[in-house]
Amino acid sequence: DIVMTQSPDSLAVSLGERATINCKSSESLLYSSNNLNYLAWYQRKPGQPPKVLFYWASTRESGVPDRFSASGSGTDFTLTISSLQAEDVAVYYCQHYYSTPPTFGQGTTVEIK
């Protein structure tokens, strides 16, 4: 199985400041035939199921605010919130869909400092 490792496990950021979450996969998620990275990012707010933010590593889901951005390729990926808002408090997960079984990172909790 591909192991997904996120860092940090949690972070506290002041309102309006930048939050950065890293995700590392144990194998490359880049499929050479189509040059796509098979990675998604999710946000889970308390009492809600995960909601997809990005897929193909950097394609923003419709309706996701543009303060969220995602980048990376191969084995190293990053989710950035450029200016943290109160409603962004959540747990964020990365997940690969390069092979089966798809696996998730352990999650990163984002809080307000």
Q: DSSP assignment, residue 87?
A: G
Q: Looking at 19, 25, 50, 77, which residue binds other proteins (CB under 8 A)?
A: 50
**Residue 106 interacts with other proteins (CB under 8 A): yes or no:** yes
- Distance from C-alpha of 37 to C-alpha of 56, rounded to nearest angstrom: 5
Nearest to 23 by CA among 12, 35, 39: 39
| Residues in contact with 48: Cβ distance below 8 Å, sequence separation at least 6, in sequence order | none
Residue 95 binds other proteins, judged by CB under 8 A = yes
- Rounded to a whole number of angstroms, the minimum distance from the CB of residue 70 to other proteins is 12
Instruction: Point out which residues bind other proteins (CB under 8 A).
Output: 1, 31, 33-34, 40, 42, 48-52, 55, 61, 93, 95, 97, 100-107
